[in-house]
Structure 1
Amino acid sequence: MTLLSESPAVMAADAPTVLTVDGLHVSYGSTAALHGVSLDVRAGETVALIGANGAGKSTTLRAISGILKARSGSITWDGKPIANLPPDRIVAAGIAHCPEERHVWPHMTVEENIMLGAYLCRSRSEVQRRAGMAFHRFPRLRERAKQLAGTLSGGEQQMLAIARALMSEPRLLMLDEPSLGLSPKMADEVFDVVRSINAHGVTVLLVEQNIHNALSVASRAYVVKTGRIAASRPAAELRDDPDLLRAYLGG
């Protein structure tokens, strides 16, 4: 990951589009979850998906990462179609997904959990190099490398989940509810990590229930409502205009 020479938000304005979702329809069995979702993400930016619970935000990430199959519509990454590819091929293409509720392996050590993120690496030396970078980025995890993941605090488990996702050295990191269940102080730490990851050249697509936190790190935001994109605005515009935000989200 190369450190950018200027702020990602500035660079992203003129950066190429790396991810395009167009007219995406996804269903859970006979129940439609996404109704023609379209969005794009440019290289180097952080884009937030905001909306109420059940709006379709997490479903969008799962479809992009190949966990859910698209019924129709397209997903394009670097100009190539990736809709319905197996998840491992999407990871290999440069997209990592850090899921909601973290999903760390509680009876494995911190180090073992991190190593799982490098399952596509074929060289042991490369795995060790990436693990070293992960521990450098997350010194608290280095201190707890031999500790069982299930004994970590919620915030530490979130850091572990992010570190594991970064082991594939993605160009796009998708984060699903990274502050879920965390104290305000720990949530602030997590979002500092998100800023740092983006500042080091990783594009971020963020789903976050805490709208204030989401809009504080994002350059742009999509409002998702009942499986559709209700609006697309600069994050600062939504953050600074509560009436506009309420008009889209209600309440």
Structure 2
Amino acid sequence: MSTVQAATAPLLELDNLHVGYGKTAALHGVSLRVQPGETVALIGANGAGKSTTLRAISGLLKPTRGSIRFNGRDIGGMAPDRIVGLGIAQSPEERHVWPSMTVYENLVLGAYLCRSQATVQQRVAKVYERFPRLKERHQQLAGTLSGGEQQMLAIGRALMSEPVLLLLDEPSLGLSPKMADEVFDVVREISRQGVTVLLVEQNVHNALTAASRAYVFETGRVVAERESAGLLGDPELLTAYLGG
């Protein structure tokens, strides 16, 4: 960890986090930290616990043990809408846009905690500036968009709450390489503008080129934490835990 990171209190801190689905344990003592302004990747094989970690942070799953602290406040088990209000938003795996609603209507849903219509419209305008393709299709039904456009919409909807921390779950899932590159260009731009990003991504190269650090997951545990450049240069570790 750099001197700058060490001097700053973590924005997000998970300590010995245990989470399960019913009686089935999914996370076994996960600990990690994310500094303000960082982009951090969670990588590992399918079923390793990466998405479960994001769901616990966003309040969709309740920890059975351990803590989740955001800006120094314990948010483990807090209701999802309260967590959004504190400054965390998630773009979920497989996007989950509302197919029978327009692009514009989907975006407005992302600002449901905002009571000022003028502010909502300002946020929509910012999303359209970041995603010109969405502006072109603002009255188009979300279900008729391409996969890449739906991913942009899902990220744009998450940004409508103006989060401090953005959770991205598999943003390149099902996309062509060209469209995945476009989406990751947007992720880098979001990071440059000061939003902290915690990223789950199956494409290891995309994840590690977008993030400064990464945690490697295996069967619900963190088995390594490295600077991204170090992981990209360690083929033995990538092969051992990710299959290459």
How many Å separate the matches in 1 of 2:143 and 2:194?
Answer: 31
CA offset at residue 243 of structure 1? 1.7
How many Å separate the matches in 2 of 1:134 and 1:15?
Answer: 30
How many Å separate the matches in 2 of 1:63 and 1:104?
Answer: 21
Match for residue 157 of structure 1 among 145, 150, 155: 150
How many Å separate the matches in 2 of 1:229 and 1:125?
Answer: 44
Aligned pairs for 1:59-208 within 5 A:
59-208=52-201
C-alpha contact 1:113 1:164 (8 A) present in aligned 2: yes
Deviations 1:55-101 (Å, cap 9, x if unpaired)? 00000000000001111100000011000000011001011011000
Q: Does 2:28 align with 1:35?
A: yes
Structure 2-normalised TM-score?
Answer: 0.96
Deviations 1:109-149 (Å, cap 9, x if unpaired)? 00000000000001111111111111111111000000000
Instruction: Report the counterpart of residue 231 of structure 1 in structure 2.
Output: 224
Instruction: Report the counterpart of residue 239 of structure 2 in structure 1.
Output: 246
Structure 2 unaligned blocks of 5 or more = none
CA offset at residue 14 of structure 1? 5.1
Using a 3 Å threshold, how does the CA distance of structure 1 residues 10 and 150 change in structure 2: closer, same or farther? farther
What secondary structure, in the 3-state scheme, does the structure 2 residue paired with 1:17 have?
coil
What secondary structure, in the 3-state scheme, does the structure 2 residue paired with 1:215 have?
helix
* Residue type of the alignment partner of 1:97: Q
**Number of matched pairs:** 243
Match for residue 206 of structure 2 among 192, 198, 213: 213
Deviations 1:204-238 (Å, cap 9, x if unpaired)? 00000001110010100000100000110111100
Instruction: Report the counterpart of residue 4 of structure 1 in structure 2.
Output: none
Instruction: Report the counterpart of residue 41 of structure 2 in structure 1.
Output: 48
Structure 1 unaligned blocks of 5 or more = 1-8
CA offset at residue 169 of structure 1? 0.3
CA offset at residue 242 of structure 1? 1.1
C-alpha contact 2:45 2:241 (8 A) present in aligned 1: no
What secondary structure, in the 3-state scheme, does the structure 1 residue paired with 2:223 have?
strand
Which deviates the most, 130-139 or 167-176? 130-139
CA offset at residue 245 of structure 1? 1.9
How many Å separate the matches in 1 of 2:52 and 2:42?
Answer: 11
What secondary structure, in the 3-state scheme, does the structure 1 residue paired with 2:32 have?
strand
* Residue type of the alignment partner of 1:138: F
Using a 3 Å threshold, how does the CA distance of structure 1 residues 240 and 249 change in structure 2: closer, same or farther? same
* Residue type of the alignment partner of 1:201: G
Which deviates the most, 215-224 or 13-22? 13-22
CA offset at residue 247 of structure 1? 3.1
How many Å separate the matches in 2 of 1:246 and 1:38?
Answer: 23
